[in-house]
Structure 1
């Protein structure tokens, strides 16, 4: 029995719609087969943590999925595992290439491999060990349990399972070529609005246009609180997903939802958030549909933790970064009177990234009086 064929057969049999992965040499035959089977529905990640965000969006959009990572990278997921996956009860089968336990010569892989199981258990995540081919038949039940119970489950795969499987890397037969043209000139001075006023302009625009269908994803902390308040103030019917944790993942979640549903989606992200998960811009530019949009509120500070200055305040520019990550339609604005015109562009462009430069400061609004389940229900699409 070939492990790759068995696992891909399980995924097809359980109607897994999308797979998310980061590479590992020990499971390269499996990942290559996933490319063959899933094509664009095999989302290649920039970082392990963003896979949890995309999975959450896929679940909200009514899809089934599986995550493939290696044990040396599991340390990157535990924050989001608790503050996103377990908080909103997102089902997540995590296939882990368990390095360090079989014919391993790399010391860090050994050290991380020794604690992988304990790390998952410390977070209350069930662990299934598939260390030889006789254990492969336990995989289908584990995946089904994750979706039935709406919980994460770690499926540890020993490298011995894939030993002897043949693999030919197609990259060596490709010509490498890309055309790059990035030119941005601007002199940002004296923004005349805060995040609250910028988001108010967004909501005013949606109401004026009668757009009740665009789904909004609001960043953690004060951004989400302000969005909640403004939605009530403008009495708009747009569904909103409010982040309660996992800073850096709002655009990843929005991406998963956009891919799953094809709906018009706006990620209300922030400059600090994108500093923490910059790679997700590349993932978004490669996989997002044309009606996926990022409304990046750039206040140059960590707005929900005391407005401490970050690199975006005067040194880094997120629009330029977005261009470098593959976004072809980008723009910026820092005056309120110009924002409405930019919003016209924003909602008529394909996959745009809009940098809205604002002053630091939060509106004094209360916390969001919704449970995680109530928040999820507002955007959830039935499977």
Structure 2
């Protein structure tokens, strides 16, 4: 294990003082320290983070640090290849990548698939990289950073689950809103019309829904849990809704919505009456450390209407909650509902296991 302070100090010695990226559970302790730094921006997606880093380098001639989970490396490929690559603009970057699905670590199926090809992908991109497991590995990475500076190239380090020393202080998370998330989800699930379908975003949303369906024996519908593909929930739901007579309820989070916000315009324009979009907004990346998404000052009701949704609602307390949910679910129009909820309070959330079975049941 290595101390997060040691990693930050190491980067500082290499004259790196700008950080940007997308929060990751493997890098939770690293992200926690960064949130108090002046020159730190949480990006909506990994491609945007790479682009922010490129802009920083163009302005300062200093090499930035861009952090992400390895699943997000795919989002970063476009600017990495078409802007920063040695054969294009030759812009040096330091990538700190949380390595989910490392061959040494037991993990979920979606992480294992990406984990197995992460190093191959970096090699294909000609990105020199080091697996950071001990302080000695930092010495090797230091040489690669110096090479990157001299030759104007990209360099990366991979960090596995459990490598970073945990902060013994309890991480208290701020609730921006008061409506209990579990209470809302329970009432919503209890009032879903028969033959409806749910597609829910990756992170806590899908796991909470699965937990509540089992806890309260709610078997009115089949659910498709997005175990990956953050930001693509609305597109999967839209694609299904356009070719099905079923009512489709898309349950998304604020971080997921913002990651690929443009997809919501497509949904607003093409969605039919059977498309219902629910945004569970807690203004945090809840499942990866509780960092802010900065979604608290967005007027989603006006935004969704401007993007083409016929009806839009905002829910922020328990008053007439069941009635509001029923009206939303039964209205004959493509509809958007923002629900301002607390962070998750459920302990030891389950994870979807038999993904092929879930897919088959959903498609029946």
The answer for unaligned runs of 5 or more in structure 2 is: 1-46, 48-69, 76-81, 90-116, 122-174
Structure having the higher helix fraction is 1
The aligned counterpart of 2:357 is 374
2:315 pairs with 326, 333, 337, which one?
Answer: 333
Taking a change above 3 Å as real, the CA distance of residues 335 and 111 of structure 1, as seen in their structure-2 partners, is same
2:294 maps to: 311
Query: Normalising by the residue count of structure 1, what TM-score does the alignment of the two structures yield?
Result: 0.49
Deviation (angstroms), 1:82 = 7.7
- Which of 171, 178, 195 pairs up with 1:213? 195
Assess, with a 3 A threshold, how the Cα gap between structure 1 residues 79 and 305 changes in structure 2: closer, same or farther.
closer
Please say if 1:300 is aligned against 2:255.
no
Question: What is the aligned-residue RMSD (CA, Å)?
Answer: 3.6
Deviations 1:315-347 (A, max 9, x none): 223222212211120010111233212112212
Distance 2:290 2:205 in 1: 13
1:55-100: CA deviations, max 9, x gaps? xxxxxxxxxxxxxxxxxxxxxxx958989xxxxxxxxxxxxxxxx9
Q: Mapping of 1:154-303 within 5 angstroms?
A: 191-206=177-192, 211-237=193-219, 238-303=221-286
Deviation at 1:111, TM superposition (A): 5.0
Deviation at 1:190, TM superposition (A): 7.8
CA contact (8 A) 2:234 2:252 kept: yes
| Superposed CA offset, 1:95-122 (max 9, x none) | xxxxx9xxxxx999x959xxxxxx9xx6
Shift of 1:212: 3.0
Aligned length: 212
Runs of at least 4 residues off by over 3 Å:
78-83, 189-192
Q: Distance in 1 between matches of 2:287 and 2:303?
A: 23
- CA apart distance, 1:253: 0.8
Q: Which runs of 5+ in 1 are unaligned?
A: 1-48, 50-77, 84-99, 101-105, 113-118, 124-188
Q: Which residue of 2 aligns with 1:343?
A: 325
Aligned partners of 2:238 and 2:275 also within 8 Å: yes
Residues in 2 aligned to 1:343 and 1:288: alpha-carbon distance in whole angstroms: 19
Change in 2 beyond 3 A, CA 1:305/1:348? same
SS in 2 for 1:312: coil
* Alpha-carbon contact 1:195-1:359 (below 8 Å) kept: yes
From the superposition, tell whether residues 190 and 244 of structure 1 become closer, same or farther in structure 2 (CA, over 3 Å): closer
Cα separation, 1, equivalents of 2:214 and 2:84: 55
Return the TM-score normalized by structure 2.
0.51
Secondary structure of the structure 1 residue equivalent to 2:327: helix
SS in 2 for 1:337: coil
Whether the 8 Å contact between 1:271 and 1:318 is mirrored in structure 2 is: no
Please give the residue correspondences for 1:109-188 in structure 2 after superposition, counting only pairs within 5 Å: none
Deviations 1:200-239 (A, max 9, x none): 1101223xxxx33110011111111110011112322211
Gap change, CA 1:319 and 1:305, over 3 Å in 2: farther
Counterpart Cα distance in 2 of 1:370 and 1:312: 31
Distance in 2 between residues matched to 1:370 and 1:309, nearest whole Å: 29
Distance 1:107 1:236, change over 3 A: closer
Deviations 1:148-200 (A, max 9, x none): xxxxxxxxxxxxxxxxxxxxxxxxxxxxxxxxxxxxxxxxx984323222111
Higher relative contact order (CA 8 A, sep 6+): 1
For the structure 1 residues 81 and 235, does the alpha-carbon distance in structure 2 shift closer, same or farther, using more than 3 Å as the test?
Answer: farther
Is the Cα contact below 8 Å between 2:250 and 2:278 reproduced in 1? yes
Could you say which residue in structure 2 is the equivalent of 1:131? none
